[in-house]
Amino acid sequence: MLSAELERYVAEIKAHAIGYGLDFFDVIFEVIDFEEMNMLASYGGFPVRYPHWRFGMEYEKISKSYSYGLHKIYEMVINNDPSYAYLLKGNTDVDQKLVIAHVYGHSDFFKNNFWFSGTNRKMLDEMANHAVRVRRYVDKYGYREVENFMDGCLSIEDIIDIHSPYINRRPETKSVLEEGENGRVPASKLRSPNEYLEDYINPSEFMEWQRERSEQERIKKRNFPESPERDVLLFMLDNAQLEEWKKDLLSMIREESYYYAPQVQTKIMNEGWAAYWHSKMLTEKIITDGEIIDYADHHSGTLATSPGALNPYKFGLELFRDIEDRWNKGKFGKDYEDCDDIEERKNWDRKVGLGREKIFEVRRFYNDINFIDEFLTEEFCREHGLFTYNFNRSTGMYEIESRDFRKIKEKLLFLLTNCGRPIIEIMDGNYMNRGELYLVHKHEGVDLKMDWAKDVLINLSVVWTRPVHLETVSQGKVRVLSTDGELKDVEVK
C-alpha cells in the first residue's frame, strides 16, 4: 500500500523510464519498516522460504549491522514477473525516488539480459511452494532429520553447471539401429550437391577420420557419465540411491542455485546498469533543486570505494559510461585500435553517437565475464586506479601486486570464471565398478581450500550414499581424497 505521494513518484519515474527506452516487468512496490526489510533481505528477498538456520544467520548479520549503524538496506528487488520491490519506510523523498529509479533499472535488466532468460519468472510462488514442501517433510520426518540433510545439501549447492541453461549438453539419443553392419559405425558424410564432387567433399582420409570419431563417440557412450559432468547435483538426482523426499529437497536446492546463478554472473553489470539509470533519470529529469544535495550524498555513499575494494556498483557504472562515451565518439574499430598517438586517441571524436544503442546491446547479450573481457581497456584501468593484490606470506598481509593492465584483466576474469568457484567434474559415476563417484578438480593454478574440500566430500558421500573420491592438485602434487570408510588423503605422483 503506497502513500499517494509515493504513488505519484512511481508513476512519474516509470514514465521517464519508458521514455528512455527501458523495458521492464510490472513492478509492485511495497513500503516496509526496517525490521521487515532485514527479515526479507535475510530470506534473499522472498517473503516465504523453507525453515532453516541459514536465514537466521543472515538475519543476525544484517540486523546487527543495521542496529550498529554500519549498513542500511534501502531497496530490494526480486527477479520475478511482476517484479517485487521493497522501499524502506521513513526514507526521505529523494532516497525513495532514487530507489524507485534504481529498481526499474534492475527490472529492465532481469527482463532483457540473456543470462536471465532461463530463470523462473514465477519464483515467488516457487519459493513459497518449496517452503510448503519442506514443512511437510518436517512434519513427516522430523525437524532434525530434514535439517541435517539440508545442511549437507548447502555444502554442495554450488556444484552446478552454470552454463547448462543455455547449452544442450545432452544430445538426444539416437536409435541404436543406426549402427552399421558388422558393428562398424557408419561415418557421417557431408552433403555433396553433385555426384562428381563427392570425392572432393568427402575424401577418403576425411571419411576415415569421421569413422574414427564416431567410433570414439560410441566408446564414450559406455562411460558413465558419457562426458565429464559439471552439474553434480543433477547427476546425484538422476543416479543417487536416495529416498524420494531427500531427492525432492536436493532438487529444490538445485533449482534455487540455478535461479541465483545469473545474479552472481551479472552482479557488476546489473548493479552498474541500475546505478547508471538512477543517476541519469534523477539528475536529468526528476530531482528538484532543493533535493540535489541529498541525492549527491546518497549516490556517493552507494558508489564509495573503501581502500582496496572494488565496488561493483561503481565499477559497473563507470564501465557502462565508458562504453557509451567510446561509442558516441567512435572510439572503436580498426582505425582507433591502430592509432598509437596518445594525444590523438584521447581527443578522438568521430561524433557517431552510437553510445546509447551500444549500452542497450551490451545489457542484452553480456555477462560480467565477456563484459570485462571486451570492454575493459587499459585507459580505463589507469584512470580508475585499478590494481591486483595478493597475499604476502612474509608480511602476512594483502599487498598491491601490480597495476599492469593484462594482469588486472586476467585476475578479474579468473575471479569471475564459474562465479569464482573451482571447477569440479564427475569423471566416473561407477568408479572401480563399485558405484563410487570419482570427481576431478580442474586445477587452474590455485589450490583448493583443502580442509573444506574434505568436509564437502564427506557431505557428498552422504548424498551419494557410496564412497566419493576427489582428484586435485595441492602444492604441485596430484592428490586423491577419498571417503572410503574414513577420509583418506593419498598423494599420487
Partner 1 sequence: MNPYCLTLFLIETKERRLILKIEQDWGRFREIVRGKIKENLRKYIVHSELIGKKGKDLISIPVPQIEVPHFAHSPQKIGGVGQGDGKEGTPVGVGEIEGDRHAGNQAGSHILEVELTLDEIAKILGEELELPNIEPRGKENIKSFTGRYTNIHTSGPESLKHPKRTFKEALKRQIIIGSYDPLDPVVVPISEDKRYKSREAIEKPAYNAVVIYIMDVSGSMGNEQKEIVRIESFWIDTWLKYQYKDIDTKYIVHDAVAHEVDRDTFFRIRESGGTIISSAYRLCRKMIEERFPPDEWNVYVFHFSDGDNWSRDDTGDCIEILEESFLPKINLFCYGQVESPYGSGQFYYDLEDNLGKKENLILSKIPEKDSIYHSIKQFLGRGK
Which of positions 9-38 make contact with partner 1 (CB under 8 A)? 33, 35-36
Task: Find the binding residues for partner 1 in span 235-254 (CB under 8 A).
Answer: none
Q: Is residue 395 part of the contact set for partner 1 (CB under 8 A)?
A: yes
Cβ 72 to partner 1, closest distance in Å? 13
Question: Which of 6, 12, 20, 65 contacts partner 1 by CB under 8 A?
Answer: 65
Q: Is residue 427 part of the contact set for partner 1 (CB under 8 A)?
A: no
Whole-number Å distance between alpha carbons of 189 and 192 = 9
Cβ 418 to partner 1, closest distance in Å? 10
- Give the burial class of 398: count Cβ atoms within 10 A of its Cβ; 0-12 exposed, 13-18 middle, 19 or more buried: exposed
Question: Which of 58, 145, 255, 373 contacts partner 1 by CB under 8 A?
Answer: 58
The residue range among 106-114, 184-192, 195-203, 306-314 that interacts with partner 1, by the rule CB under 8 A, is 306-314
Contact 115, 266 (CB under 8 A): yes
Q: Is residue 463 part of the contact set for partner 1 (CB under 8 A)?
A: no
Q: For residue 394, what is its C-alpha cell?
A: 612474509
Contact 106, 81 (CB under 8 A): no
Question: Which of 117, 192, 402, 465 contacts partner 1 by CB under 8 A?
Answer: 402
Angle, in degrees to the nearest 10, between helices 244-265 and 143-156: 40
Closer residue to partner 1 (CB): 106 or 358:
106
- DSSP-based three-state secondary structure for 339: coil
**Does the CA dihedral 128-104-293-303 come out positive or negative?**
positive
Indicate the DSSP class of residue 152: H
Q: How far does the chain reach from its first CA to its final CA, in angstroms? A: 66
Question: Which of 13, 16, 22, 42 contacts partner 1 by CB under 8 A?
Answer: 42
Radius of gyration from C-alpha coordinates of the chain: 27
Q: Is residue 257 part of the contact set for partner 1 (CB under 8 A)?
A: yes
70-89 footprint of partner 1 as x/- string (CB under 8 A): xx------------------
Question: Which of 256, 322, 425, 471 contacts partner 1 by CB under 8 A?
Answer: 256
Closer residue to partner 1 (CB): 320 or 327:
320
Contact 430, 229 (CB under 8 A): no
Question: Which of 206, 209, 365, 398 contacts partner 1 by CB under 8 A?
Answer: 398
Q: Is residue 138 part of the contact set for partner 1 (CB under 8 A)?
A: no
The residue range among 15-23, 193-201, 347-355, 421-429 that interacts with partner 1, by the rule CB under 8 A, is 421-429
The residue range among 11-19, 178-186, 216-224, 381-389 that interacts with partner 1, by the rule CB under 8 A, is 381-389
Give the pairing type, strands 468-474 and 477-484: antiparallel
Closer residue to partner 1 (CB): 4 or 167:
4
| Cα–chain center distance at 393 | 31
Cα angle: 223, vertex 488, 452; to 5 degrees: 90
CB atoms within 10 A of CB 425: 19
